[in-house]
Each structure stands twice: as structure tokens, then as C-alpha cells.
Amino acid sequence: MAVADLAFVADPGPVLDSSRRRVIGGLLLIVGAVAVLLGRALLAPDLPGVAAPAPWPEPPPVGSCVLLDLDRVDQVPCDQPHSGEVVATWKAGERPHPLLEGDATGRPITVSVRRTLPVGPQDEVCRGWAEQYTGWSAFTATHRGAGRWIAPQPVIAGKLVQAPPGEGTPDRHWTACVAQTQQPLYTGTLRSVATRTDELPGGVSICLNVGVSSTDFVDCDQPHSIELIAVMALTTAMMTTDTIAVDHSAAEMHQMCVATAALRTRSADPTYQGQLEVVNESVWVQRAEPVHVTPPGWLVPDCLIRVNGPGMLIGSVVGHGDGPLPWQN
């Protein structure tokens, strides 16, 4: 070979073995893949890679007025007819639980008058939540002791409701407690009805008629002769014997009953110029036939407004004010 030809022969340098070539090739592939991903992120930063799971639907907020159907829970304004109000909620995956209010010793209990609701059974998990929403639990906690008149417990039931189909799965869905009245539909709000003295939603108050051998509860927009204005605050400590001792005379109890009636009706004259009378007697002695109570000392007086003479009330007098009575001759 000529010397000139040798000038064009390149030095091959060190020869790479096959294993080193494979390692370098793998590194180049990784670098290339990373570069592609970075390029996509820079060119389309909002382009999702994997879709995030959709959030579970939320329950209606506490205080919402709702219409309940078999497969629907619809929120509506509270000044429109509705089935109830949401008083407690749990998100999907949370377990409903009763309201724990601590030791209830000394808490007043209603022993004289209780009305069964036609809207369905009370769900015990919802009882405390409904009482808290209506203000009953807080109200009774501050009105303890013998001889006190307190507003009767609002006629409210707590119903456990779950998300309708389409807002969850059979084993994962939101749940809520809904407070209902004795009427399938009503207008207004039940919030703090135990302490309010303004006009209350229909179906919350306790109205009744007296027959020869029975005392019949009726809706307050139906003709009736009696409305329960207040019950006596009792505690378990007061009921340890066959009688219930009251630390006031009958005259004092009557004066306190009249004062309570004036407060709850928002009228300085709760008799409405003699159309009504305010009495503190047990509901159960209003009927013509004698009632037998065991023990007899447990016949607890109630604070009542009763029609005085002909005519019937066709509305509740709670929060009515000084205007003409809802009256039917």
C-alpha cells in the first residue's frame, strides 16, 4: 500500500463490547421517552392523562326545604308547599348516627299529651337532630323544675332519607334526616318552632275536640274547640311517688298559664274578649265521661285555650296576634 493511501485510513479507536452498547442504547431510549412526555406537557399542559373520578353528589344543606317522592328529593323554597326540612346530613361513605347531647338527667319530659304522626314512624337516629332543629332540646334544657309551663313539644317526626337513584350506589350514597309535621305538605320553616311566637307552620300545634268518651286530635285548620298552649315541665326526679308535687297554688298556676297564653298568642288578651277561656286542667278530664288514671296523682294539668260558648276555631291561635280569630259559627 502506498504512503498516500495510508493517509485516508481512520483510526477505529477502542472497540465497544456488546454489553456496553446495550446499556447505552437503553439510556438513549429512556431519555427519548422523557423528552416526548415533556414535549406533550409543554405543548398541551391541560391535556389530562388519566381522568379523575367524579366527586360523589352532596346532600342538600341543613335547613333546605324538600319535596320527597319515591325516587326524588327536590329542594324548593320554604314558602312553597314541601314535605319536610333537612336537619342533619352525612356524605357518601359516612354512617348516620343519633345526636348525642350528653347526660339528659333532669331534662323535662312531656307526659300528658302526645300525638301520633300520620306521616310515618319516627326514625330514632333522627329524633335528636329534629329536636335540636326545632329548638325543643335547648328550650327544655333551660326550663327545668316543678310548676313551669313550657310550650308543648312541636308535633315533629324525624325521617331518614337517602340519595335518590343516580346520586350514588346502593352501598355508597348520602343520607339526611328530614323533619316532618303531621301534614304531608306545609309551608314555612320548622327552625326554632319550639321557642318562636310568630305564626307557625300548619300541623305543628296540638288542637283537639272533646267527645263523650274520647279526646280526638285534629289538624288545627279543621274545626276544633281546644288548643294545647303549654304543658308542665316535669323531671324524672319529680315522679318518684304516686303524686306530682307542684310548688305553686292553683291560683298561681292559673296566672302563669294566662301569662304563657298571652306570650304564645302574642295578644294582651288571650281570651279575645271572652270568645275563649284559658284554663289549666288536664286534657284528659275535658271529656264528659270520667277518666280513670293510675295512679290518680299523675293526672298532670295542662294549659289550654278553650272555646267559650258556640262556635269553633279553624286555625291555631299561636302567634295569631290581636286580629279577629279564625272562627266558624
In a domain, 4, yes or no: no
In a domain, 117, yes or no: yes
Rounded mean pLDDT of 5-21?
47
From CA 74, how far away is CA 60, in angstroms rounded?
9
From CA 85, how far away is CA 149, in angstroms rounded?
28
Residue with cell 308535633: 155
- Residue 69's alpha-carbon distances to 72, 84, 201, in angstroms, are 5, 12, 21
Rounded mean pLDDT of 134-147?
65
In a domain, 54, yes or no: no
Q: Cβ neighbours of residue 75 under 8 Å, at least 6 residues apart?
A: 60, 64, 65, 66
Q: Does position 135 have pLDDT exceeding 80, yes or no?
A: yes
In a domain, 304, yes or no: yes
pLDDT in tens, 149-184: 777 777 788 899 999 888 888 778 899 999 998 788
Q: Does position 111 have pLDDT exceeding 70, yes or no?
A: no
Kindly report the pTM of this predicted structure.
0.68
In a domain, 23, yes or no: no
In a domain, 49, yes or no: no
Q: Does position 323 have pLDDT exceeding 80, yes or no?
A: yes
Q: Does position 84 have pLDDT exceeding 90, yes or no?
A: yes
**Grid cell at residue 184:** 304531608
How many domains are contained in the chain?
A: 1
In a domain, 93, yes or no: yes
Least confident of 86-90, 223-227, 254-258, 283-287: 283-287
Q: Does position 11 have pLDDT exceeding 50, yes or no?
A: no
**Grid cell at residue 224:** 276544633
Structural domain including 240 reads 65-321
In a domain, 108, yes or no: yes
Model confidence at 90, pLDDT cuts 50, 70, 90, reads very high
